[in-house]
Amino acid sequence: SQQGEEDPQALSIQEGENATMNCSYKTSINNLQWYRQNSGRGLVHLILIRSNEREKHSGRLRVTLDTSKKSSSLLITASRAADTASYFCAPTTTGTASKLTFGTGTRLQVML
């Protein structure tokens, strides 16, 4: 299974602080994706990092990938109340029948 497991399960921070969440997985992958889900909404793709990349940035997001440790981290800098959501990682391969297998996510609460 390529299911990612996010840690911590819940995270509460003040607006302006940085939030770091982690993802671990068990099998070899081709890429790893991070998604956000606001309450009652569909998932939104945030960033994809390929297995030959170690770090990737997108706006206030910074993702790292360590394939030797089978782990990834998502850093959100200068958090805002609008960042309050659940965050999911999805380690994937690229075969035709490849699928995204989500864990239970990290619930991030950004307080004013």
Partner 1 sequence: DTAVSQTPKYLVTQMGNDKSIKCEQNLGHDTMYWYKQDSKKFLKIMFSYNNKELIINETVPNRFSPKSPDKAHLNLHINSLELGDSAVYFCASSQKSGGSEQYFGPGTRLTVT
Please identify, among the stretches 12-20, 25-33, 64-72, 74-82, the one whose residues bind partner 1 according to the rule CB under 8 A: 25-33
Contact 23, 74 (CB under 8 A): yes
Query: How do 10-14 and 106-111 pair as beta strands?
Result: parallel
In the sheet where 19-24 sits, what is the strand order? 5-7, 19-24, 71-76, 61-66, 55-58
**Does the protein bind partner 1 through residue 100 (CB under 8 A)?**
yes
Q: How many residues bind partner 1 (CB under 8 A)?
A: 25
Which positions from 31 through 70 interact with partner 1, judged by CB under 8 A? 31, 33, 40-45, 48
Residues that bind partner 1 in the complex, under the rule CB under 8 A: 30-31, 33, 40-45, 48, 86, 88, 92-102, 104-105
